[in-house]
Every structure is written in C-alpha cells, then in structure tokens.
A and B are shown apart, each in its own frame.
Chain A
Amino acid sequence: MGRITIEKLNKTYANRRKDPRSDDDPLLRQGDRVVVLFDIDLNIMDGEMVCFLGPSGCGKSTLLRIIAGFEAPSDGRVQINGKPVRGPSADHIFVFQHSGLFPWMTVAENVGLGLRHLKNRRDRQEHVSEFIEMVELDGFEQHYPRQLSGGMQRRAELARALAVNPDIMIMDEPFSGLDFLTHMKMREEVVNMHAFIQKTILLVTHNIDDALIMGDRIVILGGSPTRVIMDRTLDFPRPRDFEKSPELSLLRSELFLMMGVNYAV
C-alpha cells in the first residue's frame, strides 16, 4: 500500500540573505527564515503515478525529500498509509537526481542491496540477474558505476530501486542527462513497469511531455512562496500521443503557457 497524505505542509530554510528579497511579501521572509514550500495539501492514492512539474529551485526535490523522510517538515504532516513518516525506509525508495549508486560496489552488489534479506545466495543472485536483465545491463554485472555511461548508471539505479519492491518509488529527474533515445526507452520502461506492478510512483521532471505521457496525475508547483498551482488527473488512455488526441494537445499548450512558454512547438 502506498497512500500518501500531505496536510498543511510548510518548509522553511535558514535565510542566507541579509536584506529581504521582497518587502511587500511578508510570507517570503519570516524573520531569518526563507519559505520554500507553503501550505501544500496533497492526497496521493495507492498505485498512482504523479508527475511534479515546476520551475527550477521551486522546491520539488525538497518536497520529495520530505516525503522520503530525509528531511522533516517545518510545519504540517506527511503520512504514508495513515502513519506519519519518521525517516527513510525501504518501503519508499528514492532514486536520486545525481547518481546514488555506491561507487565501491559493482552493479550486481548495488542491485543486491535491496535483497539482503534473502539469505540463500543462489536465490539472491537469481533475483539480482533478473532485475539487471530488466534494465538490459546483462554483461555489466561486475562493472563498477564509473565504468558505465550516465544512462547505464541510471538504469542500474532503477534496477536497484525495483529490486526492493517498495510500496512507493520516488524519482527525482530520473531521465535528466540521458540522450534522447535512452530517455524515450527509460520512460517507456517506467510506464510499463508501473502498469505491471501498480506501485505508487512520484516523479519530478522538467519535461512537460514526460508528465503528459506518463502521469496519472500532474501536480505543478510554483509561485513564491511555492504552492500547488495546478493539480490535474489525466484519464487519457495509454499509449498516449498528443498528435492524435486533441484534448491532450490542448492541455499541453495550457501547461506550456503556465510554465511561461508562449508557443509550444
């Protein structure tokens, strides 16, 4: 089960500026604190794939880190399956924006991290190869992360997260820095995987098309301080193609406009 409830979430950081960013907006400056997230309310269903969009620096990573339990909210509550998040756990695995693979472990050892509970070595190795094959890294089991390309590292990290079989997968820009084709393949991979295992997936992206193709739901963060400025459930059938679906293409233009781009091409 991966139901997430976020109520009245605020997050502030220590202010590093001496003079106020803006005198007219008292919310931005509460004494020596900077408000990064303000009054976020979200209800995420079990099995939902939610795509977060928003300008750089608006607090998307911060929100995900709070949900994952790496940081505590300044105010408000985050609950998973009705229980408050007390810290990181293998029930909600975070896939990092920059590589989180352990560089001193081989691909197989990294993927095996989530399978440590399997005491039988043969069993564990079988599972490891299964997930390595799933992301098409067979043959690279004994390679160290530095010996892989950026795209291969991402796939290895995805395999590591999948191997844990978590209730919730939290992915911070999992496709950034990938070449176009790998990006498309990985996107397809995640969509298929989601259709197959039906886990809750939270995914941050800068790519509006990613969000439209993948998401069951799109949440846009923005404004200052950052709030939820749009929350839309997408019930378009998959596979999605905005050239064939006028509704989808209309929504796409709307999103581009919202993110400050006037002519979506």
Chain B
Amino acid sequence: MTTTVRRKGEKQPYAYLMPFLGFFALLLIWDVLARFSGWSREVFPGPVVVLVSMGELLADGTLVRHTVASLFRVTVGFYLAAALGIPVGIALGMMKATRSLINPLIQFLRPISPLAWIPLAMLWFGIGDPPAIFLIFLSSFFPLVVSTTIAVDGINPTYFHVAANFNFSRTEIITRLVIPAIIPEVVTALRMTVTISWLVVVAAEMIAVQSGLGFLILDSRNALRMDYVMDGMIAIGLVGLTLDYLMRQLGDLESASWRKMTH
C-alpha cells in the first residue's frame, strides 16, 4: 500500500528514463575502471570490447542457443515444481494431522543447497538436461511447498465457517476458498523461486551439462575469453530481469491482487 497521493500508474515525467540512467552510470564506471586498472583487455575487457564480442556471439547464434537451452531447463524444472509443490502445500496446509509428520522432513531438506545435490544428480541422471532439471526442481519445490502450506494455514478460520454455512463441497472449499485465498502469497513465492531457479541453472550447467549460459561461461574461461564470460553474465542478468518482470505481471492479475485493493 502506498502512502503517496499520486494515483496508481501515474508517474513523474521522464520517470521511465531512470532505470536506463542507472545502466548508463554502470557502463561509465565500468569503462573508467577498465581503462585505468592497468590490466590488459584480455583480463578486464571494457564495455566496448564486450559489446562487440556480443555481436559476434549473436551473429553466429551461440548466445541464443545457450540462452534457449538454459531457459528450457528452468521452464521444465520450475513448472514441474509448481505443478507438484503447490498441491502438496495445499494438502499439507489442510491436513493438520499429517503436517507434523512431514513438516520436519521438509524443514530438514530445505536448507540443503541444491548445489549439494549435484554429485547425486549426475550419478542418477547422467549428463545433459535431466540432472539440471532435477536440480531446478529441487530448488523450487521445497520453498513452494513451505510457502503454500503457510499461506493455507494463514487463511482466516471464519472463511471456513462461512463455507460450511453455505454447504460448500470439498471441491468447492478448495477451488472457491483455499486457492483464491492463497494466490497472492503463492505468486510472491513463485517470483522468488524463479529467481532461485535461474541462479541454480547457471551453477548446474557449469558442472553437469554441455550447453547453456553456465556452460558458455565456463567454456569461455577455459578459452581465456573474458569478453565472452561477461557476455554470458549480461545475458543471465537480462533474462533474470525479464523473468521477474513476467512474474510481476502475474501478481497484477485481478485474482492475485484482491489483497491490495482499497478505495
């Protein structure tokens, strides 16, 4: 909830220029640092060099191919995690009895970094997409289960009384009460987990996979092409920015924003 008097969607003139100003300042500082660091352009390339080599990578399709490979893994792993994690969270939230059985297990598994699973993932799934997808699944699944359970648990008990009063069936309780009530929290959780998945995919690709932006970075390092390493980093940042933007759009849907609504 904002305290400003300005109406929603109404911005100061030129406000849309502000983000670009930030990027411009970053480029400037980078350029100055690269010029005066005394390091060679092989060790610390400046923005011009990096942008030129990005042109090369775009022209021969390498960058696009690796970005698509990473995005594919994130998408599959993330959808799998959402498709399983949210229902499990709802079930746990509604069955108070089984919760005390499963909750400690989940809280035990949750702090184990997905990266710690890499050796097992490689052993079980070999090399390629499956181990990476498995790791992304793990990194999103537990946070989603936990956030969904907490969200269901936080639903005002009065609403369940109202549902019982209006003779809601079991299905109606889930579709017309629980799901709409938790959508705002679940969308927030999805936003956070998509960022985590994106972090994890890059790390996984450095070890278990022969494609993707993580692989591009590692491969370029082996070839001592720091400009390509930085291109990979820039691509990661841009995709992350886009994913977050898409998730925010999800949060602005009418069904997700009833909590924010006031006069």
A positions within 8 Å CB-CB of B: 68-70, 87-90, 92-94, 96, 98, 100, 102-105, 113-114, 116, 144, 146-147, 164
Contact = CB atoms under 8 A, between A and B. Distances in A.
Contact of A89 (B165, B258, B261): B165
Contact of A88 (B161, B176, B183, B261): B161
A104 B166 CA distance: 16
5 contacts: A69-B164, A70-B161, A89-B167, A102-B176, A104-B181
Interface string B167-184: 100000000110011010
Interface size range on B against A? 10 to 19
Contacts of A103: 258-259
Contacts of B162: 94, 96, 100, 102
Contacts of B183: 104
A164 B168 CA distance: 13
Interface string B213-226: 00000000000000
Contacts, number: 52
A98 B259 CA distance: 17
A146 to B, nearest CB: 5
Top 10 A-B residue pairs of the complex, sorted by shortest distance between their CB atoms: A88-B164, A104-B180, A104-B258, A88-B165, A90-B167, A100-B162, A146-B261, A113-B166, A144-B261, A100-B158
B8 interface: no
Interface of A is mostly: loop
Contact of A94 (B161, B259, B262): B161
A147 B263 contact: yes
B158 A98 contact: yes
A90 B258 contact: no
A105 B177 CA distance: 10
A119 to B, nearest CB: 15
Nearest to A149: B263
Nearest to A144: B261
Contact of B258 (A68, A88, A146): A146
Contacts of A146: 258, 261-262
Contacts of B259: 103
Given A146-B262, A147-B261, A102 B177 contact: yes
Contacts of A147: 261-263
Nearest to A103: B258
B137 to A, nearest CB: 29
A125 B261 CA distance: 24
A68 B255 contact: no
Contacts of A102: 159, 162, 176-177, 180
